[in-house]
Amino acid sequence: MGNLAVSYAGAGKVELIDTPYPEFELKDGPGVHPANIGRKVHHGVILKTIATNICGSDQHMVRGRTTAPEGLVLGHEITGEVVEVGRDVEFLKVGDVVSVPFNISCGRCRNCKTGQTGICLNVNPDRPGSAYGYVDMGGWVGGQAEYVLVPYADWNALKFPDRDQALEKILDLTMLSDIFPTGYHGAIGAGVTVGSTVYVAGAGPVGLAAATSAQLLGAATVIVGDLNADRLAQARSFGCETVDVSKGDPAEQIEQILGVPEVDCGIDAVGFEARGHGHDAGKEQPATVLNSLMEITRAGGSLGIPGLYVTGDPGASDEAAKVGSLSMRFGLGFAKSHTFVTGQCPVMKYHRGLMQAILSDKVSIAKNVNATAISLKDAPQGYAAFDEGAAQKFVLDPHGLIGA
Nearest to 66 by CA among 17, 7, 135: 135
pTM: 0.95
Torsion of CA 398, 400, 403, 404, to 10 degrees: -140
- pLDDT of 272: 84
Lowest mean pLDDT among 23-27, 312-316, 327-331, 376-380: 312-316
SS3 state of residue 96: coil
- The full set of domain ranges for the chain reads 2-178+346-397, 180-342
Q: Which amino acid type is present at position 347?
A: V
Work out the average pLDDT over 8-23: 95
Work out the average pLDDT over 187-209: 98
Work out the average pLDDT over 286-295: 93
Give the strands of the sheet with 197-201, arranged side by side.
241-244, 221-226, 197-201, 263-268, 297-305, 339-342
- Tens digits of per-residue pLDDT, 211-246? 999 999 999 999 999 999 999 999 999 999 999 999
Q: Which amino acid type is present at position 308?
A: L
**What fold does the segment set 180-342 form as a domain?**
Rossmann fold (3.40.50)
- Tens digits of per-residue pLDDT, 67-86? 889 999 999 999 999 999 99
- pLDDT of 404: 58
What rounded mean pLDDT belongs to the chain?
A: 94
**What fold does the segment set 2-178+346-397 form as a domain?**
Quinone Oxidoreductase; Chain A, domain 1 (3.90.180)
Helix then strand then coil, in percent of the chain rounded to 5, is 30, 25, 45
DSSP state, residue 68: P
Lowest mean pLDDT among 101-110, 270-279, 298-307: 270-279
Backbone angles phi, psi at 67, to 5 degrees: -95, 25
Q: Which amino acid type is present at position 230?
A: D
Nearest to 238 by CA among 265, 203, 194: 203
Instruction: Decide if pLDDT at 131 tops 90.
Output: yes
Which positions ≥6 away from 6 have C-beta within 8 Å? 14, 15, 16, 17, 73, 74, 75, 142, 144, 145, 376, 379, 380, 396
- pLDDT of 188: 98
Which positions ≥6 away from 190 have C-beta within 8 Å? 198, 265, 266, 267, 301, 302, 303, 304, 341
Quote the percentage of the chain above a pLDDT of 70. Answer: 100
